[in-house]
A and B are shown apart, each in its own frame.
Chain A
């Protein structure tokens, strides 16, 4: 893809595969610590990359706690507040574990936390699905610039950015490489 001629000079890798693996393991430990174990936990990834991150965090939790954690996916497209700014989007799968989310602790998992609007949509979507005992938020990268009063409980890396910059998370499952980059924007 990056053939060399069009790579912008500003592109820099902020997390490589090793960093990402350590961040995921630390988030897994923090989730177990905060919730005093992994009982009643449900990890819900926000498509696309949040779902893969949720699966990775879940498999990192199992050796810590010995228990398998339930994993699902929560598509928030139909709850977005900017639907009318773009043509109708294709939907991603939503998969809620069979037992439902009532009285469980739901950990929402997204790749990048930015404006907070995605998380706001996810909270609305959860509201229509059931009543969890608590909802927590994990993000691989928090790049700041919140537009809503929302913060993450578990963060892989805090990344101060300029608004013009683009933070991109790539995962092996989807992009054939594990890395987080900052691209574009005049520094």
Chain B
């Protein structure tokens, strides 16, 4: 594994290796010295062209726990705001000796371009590109599902998962559908027809427009935020109507089987896709998702950078 660009690039063994590695690394968070020497001397650049708190901080903590040097690069306040291209930014980072670039970009495919254009030698990790993919989020969701519903080991064969909300603009949904499928889970996406992407019929999942029908049959439900910042048109008549038909409130949570859990990748809009009562209930595992995110990102950075890299091969 050289880059992590898409959850769809991972086969079952690779996905399980990342989850198992994360499970071992999770114990580091419980120690008094939360530090491992593994990536000493490696440099990780967080290249964020879009706003993010959770993901950027999570990658930063993960890299620091592995003793890597971390450089945070936000587009705002950098040369990018003066009009510098992705290529020139990449060439600058390469000249400074970045071993890995964690990139978030508003354009789908930017990480792929960065990884394949030959601008940089290091590994590229996709931390969310446009409406395309967010593979580490899918991995941390799978890790959370495995912990709660599968004893923390193996794959997710037979698990029923519903992903509800703005599928059209969600990179989390696409990465989750691909990864959960690889792990053997069965996914149902639930959304109004206007918020489903073109070609969803070809996705390896079932599509439904009716949340109440789906909820009694799932082991986990993943609520997505309606991404109004990416919307240039009206996709539903009113927020109130959206919330009534596709929001998760206490009544709907009561339709879930007793063991089922509620996930949300954050940021949540309380009162819109999820009610405050549900967000604060013990079945909502958002805080665990965030904690697991650090372990998953440590695992990804370790597996990409912890062993022999192309630079090391050249020196031999």
Chain B residues within 8 Å of A88, by CB: 302-307
A78, A89, A92, A129: the one within 8 Å of B31 (CB):
A129
**In the complex, B187 has a CB within 8 A of chain A:** no
B residues 274-310 touching A (CB-CB < 8 Å): 302-309
Is there contact, CB below 8 Å, between A78 and B37?
Answer: yes
**In the complex, A84 has a CB within 8 A of chain B:** yes
Is there contact, CB below 8 Å, between B21 and A90?
Answer: yes
Q: CA–CA, A94 to B308, complex, Å?
A: 23
Residue in B closest to A81 when the chains form the complex, CB atoms: B37
The interface centre, meaning the residue of B17, B66, B306 with most chain A CB atoms within 10 A of its CB, is B306
A85, A91, A124: the one within 8 Å of B308 (CB):
A85
The interface centre, meaning the residue of A79, A84, A93 with most chain B CB atoms within 10 A of its CB, is A84
Is there contact, CB below 8 Å, between A91 and B37?
Answer: no
Q: CA–CA, A85 to B309, complex, Å?
A: 9
B36, B303, B307: the one within 8 Å of A128 (CB):
B36
Cβ contacts A121-138/B at 8 Å (1 or 0 each): 000100011100000000
Cβ contacts A63-85/B at 8 Å (1 or 0 each): 00000000000010011000111
Is there contact, CB below 8 Å, between A84 and B308?
Answer: yes
A residues 77-114 touching B (CB-CB < 8 Å): 78-79, 83-94
B20, B25, B32, B307: the one within 8 Å of A83 (CB):
B307
Q: CA–CA, A183 to B264, complex, Å?
A: 55
Q: CA–CA, A52 to B109, complex, Å?
A: 48
**Nearest CB in chain B: distance from A72 CB, A:** 12
**Nearest CB in chain A: distance from B23 CB, A:** 9
Chain B residues within 8 Å of A75, by CB: 24
Is there contact, CB below 8 Å, between B20 and A78?
Answer: no
Chain B residues within 8 Å of A92, by CB: 24
Is there contact, CB below 8 Å, between A128 and B25?
Answer: no
The interface centre, meaning the residue of A79, A89, A91, A124 with most chain B CB atoms within 10 A of its CB, is A91
Is there contact, CB below 8 Å, between B27 and A78?
Answer: no
B residues 222-239 touching A (CB-CB < 8 Å): none
Residue in A closest to B27 when the chains form the complex, CB atoms: A94
**Nearest CB in chain B: distance from A22 CB, A:** 35
Residue in B closest to A130 when the chains form the complex, CB atoms: B32
Chain A residues within 8 Å of B307, by CB: 83-84, 86-89
Cβ contacts B3-23/A at 8 Å (1 or 0 each): 000000000000001001100
**In the complex, B208 has a CB within 8 A of chain A:** no
Is there contact, CB below 8 Å, between B33 and A128?
Answer: yes
**Nearest CB in chain B: distance from A177 CB, A:** 27
B residues 90-145 touching A (CB-CB < 8 Å): none
Is there contact, CB below 8 Å, between A128 and B31?
Answer: yes
**Nearest CB in chain A: distance from B28 CB, A:** 9
Q: CA–CA, A128 to B309, complex, Å?
A: 26
Is there contact, CB below 8 Å, between A78 and B312?
Answer: no
Chain A residues within 8 Å of B37, by CB: 78-79, 124
Residue ranges of B at the interface with A (Cβ–Cβ < 8 Å) = 17, 20-21, 24-25, 27, 31-33, 35-38, 66, 302-309, 312
> What are 21 inter-chain pairs, A to B, with CB distance below 8 A?
A75-B24, A78-B37, A78-B306, A84-B308, A84-B312, A87-B308, A88-B303, A88-B304, A88-B306, A88-B307, A89-B306, A90-B17, A91-B20, A91-B21, A92-B24, A93-B24, A124-B37, A128-B31, A128-B36, A129-B31, A129-B33
Residue ranges of A at the interface with B (Cβ–Cβ < 8 Å) = 75, 78-79, 83-94, 124, 128-130
Known: A78-B302, A86-B307. 4 other contacts (CB 8 A): A79-B37, A84-B309, A88-B307, A89-B306
